[in-house]
């Protein structure tokens, strides 16, 4: 049983509830299946999930990115909300890192987004290629305030240096229900464990990786309770733990 809902022309809330119902409300199983579906699409690209050049990034769209993040190559599901170029010509993508929002919260937040831009979603339903879809209208300050005022989740907004994006895949609004129900932590932990095995015991990279993995293992996954503290700890750990110098 895959995580793709075959019904067409339904609302975001319908798809999320159908997805949860398909797995009996077991979030851990649902997340595993959604992750598996996304990585299948990464290898076998479809009209709704495609790789693209970094210089074609647009706001108001969903992406899966592979990012060089504090010494690690990590996957992040994101919703792009701003693109800024600094005085020193540094290009930053500002996006909601979907891994930092609880699942019940995402269902409510993105259902509101869907209802506010329903014409865009309905228009995109008939587009043959994700790269041709219309953007969802977004405003950085508005999104920041809505996240801040509704639970204090503004910490989920992350700046990504464009030069550190290793892979980027555009995700259709038709798959918003899928990309908002993945969680890359188990994937990224597995990748870190593979990296750790490449170093001999006692070497500094091995010691630091083992310490990082130990800290992440201590963070009990709280899918069923959606504890805010879990997501804040995940954000702080990934953001502040620098594994290697750039």
Contact present, 92 and 78 (Cβ < 8 Å): no
Confirm whether 2 is domain-assigned: no
Joined tokens for residue 101: 């929002």
Confirm whether 119 is domain-assigned: yes
Q: What is the residue range of 110's domain?
A: 12-240
Confirm whether 54 is domain-assigned: yes
Contact present, 96 and 78 (Cβ < 8 Å): yes
HEC per residue, 205-229: HHHHHHHHHHHHHHCCCCCCCCCHH
Per-residue pLDDT of the chain (246 residues; tens, 9 = 90+): 577 887 888 899 999 999 999 999 888 899 989 999 999 999 999 999 999 999 999 999 999 999 987 667 889 999 999 999 988 889 999 999 999 998 888 988 999 999 999 999 999 998 999 999 999 999 999 999 998 888 888 999 999 999 999 999 999 999 999 999 999 887 777 666 655 555 556 555 555 555 555 555 554 454 444 555 655 544 554 453 333 333
Confirm whether 160 is domain-assigned: yes
The total number of structural domains in the chain stands at 1
SS3 133: coil
Confirm whether 84 is domain-assigned: yes
Confirm whether 226 is domain-assigned: yes
Q: What are the strands, taking DSSP E only, across 175-217?
A: none
d(CA 237, CA 38): 24
Confirm whether 5 is domain-assigned: no
Contact present, 38 and 184 (Cβ < 8 Å): no
């Amino acid at each position: 049983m895959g995580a793709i809902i075959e019904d067409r022309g339904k609302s975001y809330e319908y798809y999320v509830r159908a997805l949860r119902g398909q797995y009996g409300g077991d979030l851990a199983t649902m997340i595993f299946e959604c992750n598996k579906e996304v990585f299948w699409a990464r290898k076998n690209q479809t009209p709704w999930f495609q790789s693209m050049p970094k210089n074609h990034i647009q706001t108001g769209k969903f992406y899966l990115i592979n990012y060089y993040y504090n010494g690690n190559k990590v996957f992040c599901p994101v919703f792009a909300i701003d693109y800024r170029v600094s005085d020193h010509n540094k290009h930053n993508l500002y996006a909601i890192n979907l891994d930092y929002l609880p699942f019940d919260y995402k269902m409510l937040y993105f259902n509101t987004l869907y209802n506010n831009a329903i014409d865009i979603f309905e228009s995109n339903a008939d587009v043959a290629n994700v790269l041709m879809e219309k953007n969802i209208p977004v405003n950085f300050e508005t999104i920041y305030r809505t996240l801040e005022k509704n639970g204090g989740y503004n910490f989920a907004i992350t700046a990504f240096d464009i030069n550190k994006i290793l892979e980027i895949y555009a995700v259709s609004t038709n798959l918003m229900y899928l990309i908002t129900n993945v969680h890359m932590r188990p994937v990224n932990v597995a990748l870190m464990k593979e990296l750790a095995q490449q170093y001999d015991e006692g070497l500094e990279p091995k010691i630091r990786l083992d310490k990082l993995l130990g800290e992440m293992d201590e963070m009990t996954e709280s899918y069923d309770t959606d504890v805010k503290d879990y997501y804040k700890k995940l954000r702080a750990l990934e953001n502040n733990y620098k594994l290697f110098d750039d």
